[in-house]
Structure 1
């Protein structure tokens, strides 16, 4: 593994040490899954993305995602981080309008949004959204996530949402209740593993940030991550839920901002575009990123 190039990228932020940090290995050719897992464990970030040559004619790269403990099928903020590294450090944004990734859950294109010859943000198109009900009693769920049943915003249903991973989406009345949530992580981990749920995502429309529609927090103990600061996959699933459950007007497109990470001291913002011009809504999630560390892995095994 000697000489492997590694980047540390803060996604969904324009400020270093904000947003959600991800590892990116832009040239992972020659690494096997065991070695990728070791690198992800060494970096000790919520996810690390590994890029290799894709065998698909539809994609530029294959991208694989590892937490410190296991491989996962999709990660939004690491996808943003990988696209940002390619667009800036490898100048791909000066050559192409987008980069296309082959993931375990399908093809994910990411547009480069360039202003004045500089990469301003990236915008990924997630796979088709879907929702389904969950059988767990609400009394149990609120105990697992550490809020009161009176904190639940009953205007909106509790659902599982998907744009690559299944996320438990729980509507909450106030930002204060979201911030004060204190989940019982062992119980939440067991529950989510049993139901094949990636993360538990609390959301509220009580968002004081400028131009912000929703404020969220995300817990992922099933993947060894107590709390993830700013989550592209979960917020993509949430955005699909808004349309599929009729919470947002299904007759028009939507463009809004989601705030997350503030309770962790890593504030971040996601830009969401929902296109409803056909039978299947298209969910696009994007933002900016900051590369904070670039280096080479020197150790060998």
Structure 2
């Protein structure tokens, strides 16, 4: 029998039982793909992250992500969770200023954010964004995400954006409409499979000043109904805002994004968009809290 260290980390929050929980397995070098999938299914969180040595000379580690049902190429909140464990349980924040993680979607630099020499957050740089048009009728999309057609904010186009994995972005006029959305999950899953997207991400600028943007994320296509707080999807949203010209390409922008409140897992992300040549640099930052430490016996 083998005993594998495992952590349960709430990402994008500084309060236990908030944000988005991720499974973190920081010493996964001896695990097979079948074992990783079984562990992710056992933990039954939206995503679990597994860390290995990397053969890439530009990377410090290799990281893989599994939902309870399948492997995915990239996950933002699990990256935050893994990086938090590296910084705290393995003291990497005292050794170097950043680490480079090799993912199936490319290299992801992660740096530590400190105040008075104390770790307050970790920040990951996502892949340069790419956009794709959506052919489906907005009437159908509104129905599938569970809002009225009049709730769609037609000032912004419905698009697919990718900074590591693809997300269907749906602009909504109000936070109330997002919080009360009742998606048709089975049909939404079929549409997401059609477009090969991981999640459907609702967003609004109607936040009463609490945040700059408020979002909600449905993901039946990867085996879960709703992801509480999504680093990858909000990074993709930032890339969309830049490439579509909704923010200037002549200055750096910072957004405070709220998510998870509709399902009692409130979280906060901080997204920075920095112009760079023809595409922006997208950084997504947040705090984390370790709530469970233990071992799994195989």
Q: TM-score, normalised by structure 2?
A: 0.98
1:238 lines up with 2:237 in the alignment: yes
Q: Secondary structure at the match of 1:58?
A: coil
**Aligned partners of 1:71 and 1:55: how far apart in 2?**
20
- For residues 184-243 of structure 1, what are the alpha-carbon distances to aligned partners after superposition, in whole Å with 9 as ceiling and x for unaligned? 000000111121011000000001353x21000000000111010000000000000000
Correspondence for 2:214? 215
Q: Is the 8 A contact 2:243 2:279 kept in 1?
A: no
Correspondence for 2:153? 153
Q: Secondary structure at the match of 2:62?
A: strand
Q: Is the 8 A contact 2:168 2:199 kept in 1?
A: yes
Q: CA deviation at 1:244?
A: 0.3
Q: CA deviation at 1:132?
A: 1.3
**Aligned partners of 2:275 and 2:125: how far apart in 1?**
13
**Aligned partners of 2:66 and 2:179: how far apart in 1?**
28
Correspondence for 1:228? 227
**Structure 2 matches for 1:254-273, cutoff 5 A?**
254-273=253-272
Correspondence for 1:86? 86
Q: Secondary structure at the match of 1:280?
A: coil
| The 10-residue stretch of structure 1 (107-116 or 31-40) with the greater mean CA deviation from structure 2 | 107-116
Q: TM-score, normalised by structure 1?
A: 0.97
Q: CA deviation at 1:2?
A: 2.1
Correspondence for 1:173? 173
Q: Secondary structure at the match of 1:225?
A: coil
**Aligned partners of 1:285 and 1:128: how far apart in 2?**
13
Q: Secondary structure at the match of 2:212?
A: strand
**Aligned partners of 1:275 and 1:66: how far apart in 2?**
30
Correspondence for 1:117? 117
Q: Secondary structure at the match of 2:217?
A: strand
Correspondence for 2:183? 183
Q: Is the 8 A contact 1:99 1:110 kept in 2?
A: yes
**Structure 2 matches for 1:44-63, cutoff 5 A?**
44-63=44-63
Q: CA deviation at 1:159?
A: 0.4
Q: Secondary structure at the match of 2:225?
A: strand
Q: Is the 8 A contact 1:209 1:259 kept in 2?
A: no
1:11 lines up with 2:6 in the alignment: no
1:276 lines up with 2:279 in the alignment: no
- For residues 108-164 of structure 1, what are the alpha-carbon distances to aligned partners after superposition, in whole Å with 9 as ceiling and x for unaligned? 000011222321101100001011101111111111111111001011110001101
**Aligned partners of 1:187 and 1:122: how far apart in 2?**
36
Where do 4+ consecutive residues of structure 1 move more than 2 Å? none
Q: Is the 8 A contact 2:53 2:60 kept in 1?
A: yes
Correspondence for 1:296? 295
Q: What RMSD, in angstroms, separates the aligned Cα atoms of the two structures?
A: 0.9
Q: CA deviation at 1:58?
A: 0.7
**Aligned partners of 2:255 and 2:189: how far apart in 1?**
31
Q: Secondary structure at the match of 1:84?
A: helix
Q: Is the 8 A contact 1:112 1:123 kept in 2?
A: yes
Q: Is the 8 A contact 2:52 2:61 kept in 1?
A: yes
**Aligned partners of 2:107 and 2:245: how far apart in 1?**
27
**Aligned partners of 1:177 and 1:278: how far apart in 2?**
37
Aligned residues: 298
**Aligned partners of 2:122 and 2:13: how far apart in 1?**
12
**Aligned partners of 1:224 and 1:186: how far apart in 2?**
11
